[in-house]
Amino acid sequence: MTYDKRFDGRAFDEMRPMEAKAGVIKRAAGSGWFKIGNTEAYAAVYGPREMFPRFQQNPEKGVLRCFYSMMPFSSAGDRVRPGPSRRSKEISLVTAKALLPVLDLSEYANSVVDIYIELPQTDAGTRCAGICAASIALADAGIPMKDLVCAISAGKVEDKIILDLNYEEDSHEKGVDIPIAMLHNSKKISLMQLDGEISSEEVAQCIEMVKKASDKLFEVQKEALKGRFRVAGDKNA
Amino acid sequence: MGEIKVKNKDVVVPGEILANGMDFLPSYGTYREGEQILASRLGLVNIEGKVIKLVPLSGVYHPKKGDTIIGPVTEILLSGWRVDTNSAYSAVMNMKDATSEFIARGANLTKYFAIGDYVMVKIINVTSQNLVDLTMKGPGLRKISGGRMIRVNSNKVPRIIGKQGSMVSMIKQYTGCRILVGQNGIVWVSGDEPAKELLAVETIKKIELEAHIPGLTDKVNAFLEGHKDSVKGGVKEQNNGGNNDVR
């Protein structure tokens, strides 16, 4: 069987419509909101602040902690049990590792930067949306970082290589899902996971697709951050 | 020949290319990658000749030697007080830096500063491990009582103070409030009427929001002028409300 037309009618290398904002959570040091299709992520950054428990402090540089969580009502019908699960702990860990390569926490010895990612609505690609939102939030929090991290999933359904899978494609019997996080400038990969069976040539095609998509993601993130500093009535905006 | 990709005073995001070519120099908030200069944080571009640097727009306060800050006492130590600096690191004020009075061995230190008291202090040293030492010896440094504390983004503090304190003295003049601005983003406002304090707080919040926009002083002046009547009894006349010995 062939996959001629995508479930939601997009082109095979087309992303779902994206929206982003920075500074949505006023009391956080920095925050970001990222929406791609029906997947929506909020990220709030607190810190650098004093780290507890003390034994986890690093006297050489700051520590990055990440907390990923899907809201109970976020999925297609079944209630997501709140609190840490095997899955959310794993995603928290890989998110932190995806973001760490761009951050410079050497000035913040013994302190911690906390990122909280919450997903009010999900339709596959949550870890990627979370990373994009967290990237906006970290920049908004004024933390030194070399680059923004752009994340998107690529994959395969039946015989077609596709970009930005939605839930129908992600859960397809013959679907392959590869979430990839990429540093925008160097195009280095800081997260890549794979779920399904796929040949190495096809993975290479997926990576090429993500490379192109990362430029668009960066633009969205950039606009979100710049939009925060536009004040109504300002002519220079 | 290199080329600059951004204008002065532009807001740039991490990873954005600022300039191409080797005849520009990266300074604070930027870095060189090959031929290019890129931003390494969110900030406003500042081009001075060949040097490109960023003025940060956001971020938590980081203690710096020489800063005057406001913070609450959080702990009584063996020979001093621990003060929260509104940053990732707390600071210690030693007895000998706190007062010129003689404090007997084993005296009750809460007589001088109790937990929860706010103090205006100066940072005398920050070590490589970010241990912070404070002093209260200096003009205007003291314990603060009464009034209200507000928190602002510490990067906006220079704009709240203004050139030679012009902005803060304007607010003092219009509202008749006494205002102390800590470099760590804690601001103390005290007036004889709540309405005046509220106007001062509102003005400071406005400055914080629009700090990066040129022509701020005029805008704030117009704002205060417009709200002059909302404060009972007018304000500009009473004047001298601002305690001008401290910024």
pLDDT attached to residue B244: 42
Helix orientation angle between A126-140 and A86-99, rounded to the nearest 10 degrees: 50
Considering only CA atoms, which of A153, A193, A196 is closest in space to residue A172? A196
A232 pLDDT band (50/70/90 cuts)?
Answer: low
Taking the C-alpha atoms of residue A17 and residue A84, their distance in angstroms, rounded to an integer, is: 30
For the segment A44-70, the average pLDDT, to the nearest whole number, is: 95
Q: Which domains does chain A have, with CATH numbers?
A: 18-226 (3.30.230.70)
- Within 111-140 of B, beta carbons closer than 8 Å to A belong to 129-130
Shortest distance, CA B15 to any CA of chain A (angstroms): 4
The candidate with the shortest Cα–Cα distance to A140, out of A122, A113, A118, is A113
Residue-wise pLDDT for B200-215, tens only, equals 999 999 999 888 888 8
pLDDT of B123 over the 70 cut:
yes
Instruction: Please tell me the predicted confidence (pLDDT) of residue A148.
Output: 97
Domain boundaries, chain B: 3-56, 68-144, 148-230
SS3 A209: helix
Which residues partner with A163 through β-bridges?
Answer: A154
pLDDT at B2: 80
Please report residues of A whose CB lies closer than 8 A to that of B16: 222
**Percent of chain A scoring above 70 in pLDDT:** 97
Separation of alpha carbons B52 and B18, rounded Å: 8
A146 and B40: CB-CB below 8 Å? yes
Q: Alpha-carbon Rg of chain A, whole angstroms?
A: 18
pLDDT tens by residue, B85-116: 999 999 999 999 999 889 988 889 999 999 99
Residues A19 and A133 sit within 8 Å (Cβ to Cβ): no
Mark yes or no for CB contact B59/A49 under 8 Å.
Answer: no
More confident call, B129 vs A98:
A98
Counting residues of chain A whose pLDDT is more than 90, the rounded percentage is 89
Per-residue confidence (pLDDT) for residue B212, from 0 to 100:
83
pLDDT in tens, B142-152: 999 999 999 99
Query: Could you tell me the CATH superfamily of domain B68-144?
Result: Nucleic acid-binding proteins (2.40.50.140)
What interface predicted TM-score (ipTM) does this complex get?
A: 0.89
The mean pLDDT value for A140-153 works out to 96
Residue B247 pLDDT exceeds 70: no
Supply the CATH classification number for the domain B3-56: 2.40.50.100
- Residue A98's pLDDT band, with cuts at 50, 70 and 90, is very high
Average confidence (pLDDT) over A103-128: 96
- Residues of A near B (CB-CB distance < 8 A)? 29-30, 47-50, 59, 62, 102, 104, 107-112, 139-148, 183-185, 218, 221-222, 225-226, 229, 231, 234, 236
Q: How would residue A100 be classed by pLDDT, with cut points 50, 70 and 90?
A: very high
Q: Tell the CATH superfamily of the B148-230 domain.
A: K Homology domain, type 1 (3.30.1370.10)
Q: Which of A185, A186, A214, A219 to mutate to test the interface with B (most CBs of B within 10 A)?
A: A185
Residue B49 has a CB neighbour count (10 Å cut-off) of 7
B148-230: same fold as B3-56?
no
pLDDT score of B158 more than 80: yes
Report CB contact under 8 Å: A231, B13.
Answer: no
In this predicted model, what pLDDT tens digit does every residue of B166-181 receive, in sequence order? Answer: 999 999 999 999 999 9
Confidence tier at A23 by pLDDT (50, 70, 90): very high
pLDDT of residue A234: 52
